[in-house]
Structure 1
Amino acid sequence: MKSFLMLCSAASCALAIGAAMPAAAQQAPAAAPAKAEAKPVPVAELVKKVDIPYESFTLKNGLRVLVHTDRKAPIVAVSTWYDVGSKHEPAGKTGFAHLFEHLMFNGSENAPGDFFEPLKQVGATDFNGTTSFDRTNYFETVPRPALDRALFLESDRMGYLLGAITQDVLDEQRGVVQNEKRQGDNQPYGLVYYKVLEELLGTTPYGHNVIGSMADLDAASLDDVKNWFRSHYGPNNAILVLAGDIDAKEAKPLVEKYFGAIPAGPKSVLPKVTVPTLPAAKTVTIKDSVAATLILRSWAVPGLNDKDAVPLSVFASVLGGLASSRLDNELVRKDKTAVQVSSGIQSMAQLGIFTVQAVVKPGVDPAVVSKRLDEILADLLKSGPTADEVTRVATTKVSGRISGLESVGGFGGKAVALASGELYSNDPLFFKKELEATAKVTPAEVKAAANKWLNRPALTVMVVPGQREAYQEATAVAAKPAAEGAKAEPVKGTRGALPAVSPIGDLVFPKVERTKLSNGIELIYANRTAVPVTQVEMSFDAGVAADPSEKLGTQRLTLNMMDEGTTSLDSTALAEARERLGAGISSGSSADRTYLSVDAPSPNLAGALDLFADVVEHPAFAPAELERVRGQSLTGIAQELTTPQSLASRMTPRVLYPAASPYAKLGAGSGDPAVVKTITRDDLVAWHKAWIRPDKAKIFVVSDRPLAEIKAALEARFGGWKVDGPAGTKAFAAASQAVTPKIILIDRPNSPQSLIVAAQLTPVDPFADTLAVATANQALGSGFLSRINMDLREAKHWSYGAGGGFNFMEHAVPYTISAPVQADKTGDSIKAIQQQVKDFLTTKGVTPEELTREVNGSTRELPGRFETSDAVLNAMQQNDIRRRPDDYFSTIAQKYRALTIPQLDAAARAALDPNKFVYVVVGDASKVRPQLDSIGLPVEVVPAASLASTKPAGN
């Protein structure tokens, strides 16, 4: 499913939406050689490659345990799923399940304090928790010698939690959750989902948002939350999955040891849910600070276990999920009345939401788009999908699942597949049956299911530009006297100390091999065999810094056009061919590099590379399609001017870099709309010719196929690629500008949060050994346990999350702190950041405890950190760009162990100056400006709309 309720940015639109002009009508920079189309492997063959064998057992207290053995790395994913979600919440207690997710990270009776501390110490990766309508889960991937500690922690919060929850802890996490809610609500279209749930599912237990209401969160008492825990978090209400370097014989005594003594509790009662049907079609209109009107049409449909779930999912993909979908082809490519469309199903255990959405092109009557949307849907309901469409959907879904199952844990790995199947369907292998059903479903079955459920009345929610209604804020909570429990001491534990962790071996990073194609393009390769997938990324020495100064936005528009048709395929044909292969083709850029990439199941690699080479070497840049994509880009730019992070990202480079620096171009975002309107096809062809060329390219590959095979495949497609004309150049001769510390307030009215961005340029050399300064920053700004986050989130609960870090660009290393905070604490938050940074760089440097934690965590996490091909591919590129040896991560553990506190303090103090930060604040000036005047820095107020121009505002 495409992104839900988000207008695609210019970057994401680039390869998600294509052109419909026939190849014969396109002008071309070069002719593409004719190739016989490689035949994709049948989807049923791909399904056979998806397998997660498991063993299971159940403890006497009812805890269900699933074990999957995967010996590819010395790590184990620990995933605990509780049968409690927001659908179990009674009226007046919305948000309780999610609030408890937070409370269960705040320590237990035998492991007081944040759980992130002991998890970080053992090198845990992929550790987090999530809450949905149907369940709450907690997960971490740990080195095998740390499994005892992970099981101790998970069992302690299952059986020994209540004594650690005090009024202080509740108030703290309530504040954090309320800021998480503000952060989501503060985004464009951020309130629409509340309306969908209320109007469509309001009569069911699924009718309220998982995060709850401010009023219910305010009203939650200590007794309320403790009773909630007693009712839902017993072992007989949970599933534990262990996936990785372990088997059931090893697992059973460990699970018995840590969980066996926990008594069973009440079992969650499955609420009664009937799929509701609206009595009549209904349209609701809400206003928001958005750049374009959103039409969102929804139906309640059956849950994931219903026989119609798979056919409905396939129908949704054909309608608006594929890049070649009916909605894309008609509304975006042909009519050009929408700039983004999508369709998909949010499948829950007991029901689902079928959603169709269109973002209307500014200037177009939404009623016209709404009428066309209905016509396209009606036509597909009448005729049904083609067999080819159904096959393309199945191949795309199976391909994505294969890639996702490389991880043993995290948000979507093997542990998740097993646990969700067991909890929702009483079958850990449900995921495979779902894939098999997707591979076998017929067009007639898809048509029948869609007609059964989508001929019912629909809910339409329209989000139109305008001023939002008043935001429902939290009630200020008065401080409670100590006698009321605010200072109650947590219960002391009885289980003894945390289990010790035996020595953890250092990482053996995959062997990286280098070779060259016949035309000189360097190929950097690593072999990974966990999944039959190949990832190829071409990195070009270009990036945002290569954007033409007089036409900022050219690079982005060029990338957006490269998948809109080649000299041999129009964009629809290109998208269809890609989907038949289960391949993904994408683009992107950093300050210094432009990326084009392809990934595919290895059995389909030949065909995927044929398409990729066509996109890279022979984009058509069809004039008619340029006008359509230009319109999408302009809408994306307008959207950037309504989004807090995008506004800050536009302003910050303008104050850090002189106007002549190539890095000042970062302040243009996706471009200046006035300039983007003037970019011609010739500009795109010229930029492609100067920068997307073999003498600026390196190819990075991670694959289960051997290097010889990969090289031969790439040589056949890129070995004959020749340079044509002079290459582009980037000039970094401009001197750094003197930056005057100040506050620039970007006025964004009616913002429940302010986004604070503090930035300065540092003297750090990106090609030197930066391990000391990066490790020092782990204590100050990077990660959950950093001082900035622990202060603003955990101690003050003014933010859902804050932190800072270095950006190691090739010609500059800025340091940036980002902190979304509740609006009424904006000024105090800046003061808190200033104090934390000043203390760290003067009298309160790195502590022995922080050094131990960072060295332990950073060395022990290495096997989990590089578990996936994605991570290896990114590391290979970073090593290359930063001129580090290919085996850098194989030697890094001993470098960590050699670090000392004086080294870290010296590195941080040489890099950062607490008095040189410029603060960019995005928020409601009427509420925020009075808070800023007491900070002692000059304050400039800038209208958000002024940042559309690329002129150096704020200097």
Structure 2
Amino acid sequence: MRNLLLSGILYCSFVSLSSVYAQKSEMPKYITNVEGVKEYSLNNGLKVLLIPDASQSNMVVNIVYNVGSRNEGYGEKGMAHLLEHMLFKSTKNLGDIKKMLSDKGGAANGTTWLDRTNYYEVFPSNDENLKWSIEMEADRMINATILQTDLDKEFSVVRNEFEIGENNPDGVLQERILSTAYLWHNYGNSTIGSKEDIERVKANTLRVFYEKYYQPDNATLIIAGKFDEQKALQYVGQYLGAIPRPKRVLDKTYTIEPAQDGEKFVELNRAGDSKNVGALYHTVPYADKDFAAIDALGEILTADPSGYLYKTLVETQKVSSVYVWQPNVRDASFMYFGVAVPNDKDIKATRDIVRTELDKIPTTKYTDQDVSRAKAKIIKQIEGVKNNTISFAINLTEIIGAGDFRLGYLYRDAVEKLTKEDIQRVAEKYFRSNNRTVGIFIPSKDEQRVKSVEYTDEQVLALTKDYKGKALEKEAAAFEASIKNLKQNFAEGKLSNGVKYGLIKKEIKGGKVQANFKFPVSNEKDLAGKTDTGGILAQLLKTGTKTRTKEQIQDRLDQLKSSIYFNFSGQTLSVNISTYKESFKEVMEILNDLLVNSTFPENELTKTITEYNTYLESNLNDPQTVAFTELSRQTTKYDKSSIFYTPTIQEQIDAFKKIKQTEIVDFYKNILGGNNGIGSVVGDLEAKSTVQILENTFGKWNSKSKYELAKPTYFETKVLDKDYITPDKENAVALGRIGFKMTRSSADYPAFVMANEILGSGGFLSARIPMRLREKEGISYGAGSFIDVPITSDVASWSYYAFLNPTKKSAVETATKEEIAKALKDGFTAEELKSNLVSWQNERKTRLGSDDTLMNLVNTYLQYGVPLEDYDDLENKVKALKVEEVNAVLKKYLSLDKMTSVYAGDFNKKL
């Protein structure tokens, strides 16, 4: 402990929170209000943003520190990320952070990136949660223990996280291209860091880093959602305002990446199952006026179906997919193009084809329609985030890391003002071959080199200090997260063809409207051997109709800031809609056109199958994919034609290749239909007109195939431990399953829910399995359990999972089975039941604040007749449980004698 204290003295910043609380607290000083984001500051340098939204039933507390991998020095690669893990351990005053988060339920996380680290907690809105979150963040800002014993355990967890990333060919290629593109700037380094640095850093070294950067003058606190603003300011002043401003002065980073002086190439040779091409161009900081134009150009180039690169590469089936990415960062950024290549293509020839198409970017003549289309897509995305207050508050993390929260509004304003001349200018300026990394060095003369753009803090301040933003929008009304309130704002009915609908009257920020519909179709006999066809069909429903092209469909949805998503699984077509009050009618008209007039162009079918199969090929030896596939195959024995059959990955690839357009059309005309459907709509809509819109959309859309609910068959699980070798994979997966008979209406269900909660699912990594594997032994990055107990059949199961280094297989297997055996032999304690009950209740309260949960509850009621009150009834039954009942149910349904386990990874690896 003496050494830890001495290291703190180096920065003269280690302060005991218990002593500063006794000092006079300070009320934050009001600075400005930008479009509903209220800015305050404290004398110690802390910035505070309040984003109230009464329509929420949850709140988020998010603290952002201006430290990321950009700030790491020699020997410190990965230190910012490692420190993020350590701050979930304990503090001097409050103790075990993870346990407290677990007991409170809700959702919490920490993330590290190039310019920043953040920690956030999402809880049901109340003063106690607000006060605790602020007090906790104040305590771990200066009083984290950072013990060597904790660090020793966390090494292998972070290493395991590193190894998971090493299994992704596209991700690894991107890292190598970045490290080649950047000679000096830390943006060329992976945030997760060097494995050697991670494993060798000592706690006292980590503490020096912590005490340097984790201080109020280097942080921004965001509080958003439903909360009492005055109390929030009071708590901020009481806990965070009491922390003195540190005496140390933070040095600014000053490394500027020099202009690249020739095209670079990377050839990566390592294990993998997919072929990928990547290309990177150096661009500008998020604060620069060109950033928005470069983003829009990326959309113009890669959008499906209108993008120039999409048309020349994907449409022609030279590649299976292309994406683009430009991160929001503080210093000069980059634009990265990622291309997936089918395994039957020559990778080097394809690389040259891609380079040829990229060379056309500066000389292409872009149109007003290109710019309008890109602007609509980007603004839709901006508005979508802005109108989800919790997500907006967390999303601000990136923008704050880039320099100032107002930069996000300036970016939006810049997007709105874009012209084709802006697009042409950035295309010519930045998209030169000598500013690109895809290949080998090629000497040349008289190059016009692109220099990195630097923005000082003073420039950012000058750019943002007087920015006022647009007029404030109308605040959405409060909506209590409770079943009682849901029922009071719920109306139901039937359309003329039998579709059941539910309307949830709720104001959502920005006038947003969400809808979710499910259309069960046909029967097991008529669907035999056709589930793959249904899956592909769902992805083709937006590729063109008798009246609209694929481009027109996507363009109009973007202009309306709306989205329609389809998915087909088993015997159900699911439709998810995100739109706005004023656009709801037109979006539903588009949906109707897709459901009754789709044409399924042959070239789109070919492209979709190629894209799917390229993805599947990349997962042929992926441990997670292999493990989940094989566990299902080992525990069920369906005929291949059954809708419940689980194919191997190769069988799935082969099945997709055989699908014909005539089969898609036949399925569309004879199987699909809405007459057995159900769905819910959330938003501030007028009921009568909404029902008429639903009638016009679905009322005449009927299936020709008779609907009968298909039910799974019960297969008893047996003892099995089977290995699947995935060569040269750095990560491995362990999965296990025990099958039994139970429905959600079973008298044992409430007790079984809590048994699973305590054993592997509950809390913030505090249940027995994750506590043993991750917290105590550090042999798994993620471990836990989950249950599948259906409503309409009694085919149920309990499963566990663990992600691990292949060399830790034996340790993970032993630890997991020991924890299960111990629970079955000795049972749980009353204290375990009590603490897990609290976190379980809080998690359900948090979940009830989500619109998706409201729609799911309504849809379950409409489809299966499960009363909305069952949500509260389950909670009441669980609250009444005694620990003896939980232990009895655990022993009744779980037995190691019936557990099937599979392990996927390279178990031939040596320590």
Please report the TM-score for the alignment, with normalisation by the length of structure 2. Answer: 0.85
Query: Aligned residue for 1:754?
Result: 732
2-structure distance, mates of 1:668, 1:870: 32
1:870 is the counterpart of 2:852? yes
Aligned to 1:362, the other structure's residue is in SS state coil
Q: Is the 8 A contact 2:61 2:224 kept in 1?
A: yes
Aligned to 2:582, the other structure's residue is in SS state helix
Report the CA distance between 1:635 and its aligned residue.
2.3
2-structure distance, mates of 1:822, 1:151: 36
Report the CA distance between 1:323 and its aligned residue.
4.5
In terms of mean alpha carbon deviation, does 239-248 or 917-926 score higher? 239-248
Supply the AA of the counterpart residue of 2:486.
P
CA deviation string 1:289-321 (max 9, x = no partner): 444321100012111001111111111111114
Supply the AA of the counterpart residue of 2:60.
A
Report the CA distance between 1:460 and its aligned residue.
4.2
Alpha carbons of 1:850 and 1:591: their partners in 2 closer, same or farther (altered >3 Å)? Answer: farther
Query: Aligned residue for 2:276?
Result: 294
For the aligned residues, what is the CA RMSD?
2.8
Aligned to 1:242, the other structure's residue is in SS state strand
Report the CA distance between 1:706 and its aligned residue.
2.9
2-structure distance, mates of 1:195, 1:746: 29
Supply the AA of the counterpart residue of 1:773.
F
Report the CA distance between 1:700 and its aligned residue.
2.3
In terms of mean alpha carbon deviation, does 671-680 or 908-917 score higher? 671-680
Query: Aligned residue for 1:679?
Result: 659
In terms of mean alpha carbon deviation, does 222-231 or 536-545 score higher? 536-545
1:702 aligned residue (664, 675, 682): 682
Supply the AA of the counterpart residue of 2:231.
E
Query: Aligned residue for 1:54?
Result: 37
Alpha carbons of 1:529 and 1:635: their partners in 2 closer, same or farther (altered >3 Å)? Answer: same
- Superposed, 1:832-851 pairs within 5 Å as 832-845=815-828, 847-851=829-833
Report the CA distance between 1:539 and its aligned residue.
0.8
2-structure distance, mates of 1:704, 1:683: 41
CA deviation string 1:602-636 (max 9, x = no partner): 32223322222222223213334333333333323
In terms of mean alpha carbon deviation, does 644-653 or 661-670 score higher? 661-670
2-structure distance, mates of 1:881, 1:803: 31
Query: Aligned residue for 1:135?
Result: 116
Report the CA distance between 1:105 and its aligned residue.
0.5
Query: Aligned residue for 1:83?
Result: 66
1:452 is the counterpart of 2:429? yes
Aligned to 1:524, the other structure's residue is in SS state strand
Query: Aligned residue for 1:629?
Result: 608
Alpha carbons of 1:879 and 1:96: their partners in 2 closer, same or farther (altered >3 Å)? Answer: farther
Alpha carbons of 1:671 and 1:52: their partners in 2 closer, same or farther (altered >3 Å)? Answer: farther
1:612 aligned residue (588, 591, 594): 591
Report the CA distance between 1:718 and its aligned residue.
2.0
Query: Aligned residue for 1:258?
Result: 239
2-structure distance, mates of 1:866, 1:273: 47
1:432 is the counterpart of 2:409? yes
2-structure distance, mates of 1:668, 1:729: 27
Q: Which runs of 5+ in 1 are unaligned?
A: 1-49, 464-503, 932-955
1-structure distance, mates of 2:624, 2:293: 38
Report the CA distance between 1:215 and its aligned residue.
0.6
1:176 is the counterpart of 2:157? yes
1:907 aligned residue (883, 889, 892): 889
Query: Aligned residue for 1:514?
Result: 492
Query: Aligned residue for 2:30?
Result: none
Q: Is the 8 A contact 1:546 1:555 kept in 2?
A: no
1:318 aligned residue (293, 297, 300): 300
Q: Is the 8 A contact 1:320 1:326 kept in 2?
A: yes
1-structure distance, mates of 2:878, 2:669: 44
Query: Aligned residue for 1:23?
Result: none
Query: Aligned residue for 1:106?
Result: 89
Alpha carbons of 1:415 and 1:747: their partners in 2 closer, same or farther (altered >3 Å)? Answer: closer
Query: Aligned residue for 2:54?
Result: 71
Query: Aligned residue for 1:232?
Result: 213
Supply the AA of the counterpart residue of 2:903.
V
Q: Which runs of 5+ in 2 are unaligned?
A: 1-32, 441-479
CA deviation string 1:828-861 (max 9, x = no partner): 211111111121222132x223222232223334
In terms of mean alpha carbon deviation, does 281-290 or 379-388 score higher? 379-388
1:361 is the counterpart of 2:342? yes
1-structure distance, mates of 2:296, 2:61: 32
- Superposed, 1:439-838 pairs within 5 Å as 439-461=416-438, 508-511=484-487, 512-531=490-509, 532-541=511-520, 548-550=527-529, 553-591=532-570, 593-660=572-639, 662=642, 664-668=644-648, 672-723=652-703, 725-727=704-706, 729=708, 731-732=710-711, 734=713, 736-768=714-746, 770-783=749-762, 784-809=765-790, 810-811=792-793, 812-838=795-821
Q: Is the 8 A contact 2:281 2:334 kept in 1?
A: yes
Alpha carbons of 1:539 and 1:58: their partners in 2 closer, same or farther (altered >3 Å)? Answer: same
Supply the AA of the counterpart residue of 1:325.
G
Alpha carbons of 1:324 and 1:624: their partners in 2 closer, same or farther (altered >3 Å)? Answer: closer
Supply the AA of the counterpart residue of 2:88.
F
- Superposed, 1:30-49 pairs within 5 Å as none
Alpha carbons of 1:134 and 1:782: their partners in 2 closer, same or farther (altered >3 Å)? Answer: same
Alpha carbons of 1:881 and 1:523: their partners in 2 closer, same or farther (altered >3 Å)? Answer: closer
Report the CA distance between 1:862 and its aligned residue.
4.2
1:343 is the counterpart of 2:319? no
Aligned to 1:781, the other structure's residue is in SS state helix
CA deviation string 1:174-208 (max 9, x = no partner): 22111111112123434223212210124112221
Q: Is the 8 A contact 1:506 1:893 kept in 2?
A: no
2-structure distance, mates of 1:791, 1:546: 46
Aligned to 2:820, the other structure's residue is in SS state helix
Query: Aligned residue for 1:156?
Result: 139
Q: Is the 8 A contact 2:522 2:708 kept in 1?
A: no
Alpha carbons of 1:573 and 1:863: their partners in 2 closer, same or farther (altered >3 Å)? Answer: same
Report the CA distance between 1:878 and its aligned residue.
4.5
2-structure distance, mates of 1:534, 1:435: 22
Report the CA distance between 1:401 and its aligned residue.
2.8
CA deviation string 1:762-798 (max 9, x = no partner): 2221444633322221111114222111111111111
Alpha carbons of 1:152 and 1:731: their partners in 2 closer, same or farther (altered >3 Å)? Answer: closer
2-structure distance, mates of 1:721, 1:700: 17
2-structure distance, mates of 1:910, 1:270: 62
Alpha carbons of 1:585 and 1:168: their partners in 2 closer, same or farther (altered >3 Å)? Answer: same
Q: Is the 8 A contact 1:561 1:621 kept in 2?
A: yes
2-structure distance, mates of 1:840, 1:882: 34
Supply the AA of the counterpart residue of 1:695.
N
Supply the AA of the counterpart residue of 1:350.
D
Q: Is the 8 A contact 2:272 2:618 kept in 1?
A: yes
Alpha carbons of 1:697 and 1:881: their partners in 2 closer, same or farther (altered >3 Å)? Answer: closer
1-structure distance, mates of 2:863, 2:194: 47
Query: Aligned residue for 2:264?
Result: 282
Report the CA distance between 1:690 and its aligned residue.
4.5
Aligned to 1:926, the other structure's residue is in SS state coil
Alpha carbons of 1:894 and 1:733: their partners in 2 closer, same or farther (altered >3 Å)? Answer: closer
Alpha carbons of 1:777 and 1:625: their partners in 2 closer, same or farther (altered >3 Å)? Answer: same
Supply the AA of the counterpart residue of 1:900.
K
Higher RCO (CA 8 Å, separation ≥ 6 residues): 1
Aligned length: 828
- Superposed, 1:241-252 pairs within 5 Å as 241-252=222-233
Report the CA distance between 1:881 and its aligned residue.
5.3
Q: Is the 8 A contact 2:622 2:726 kept in 1?
A: no
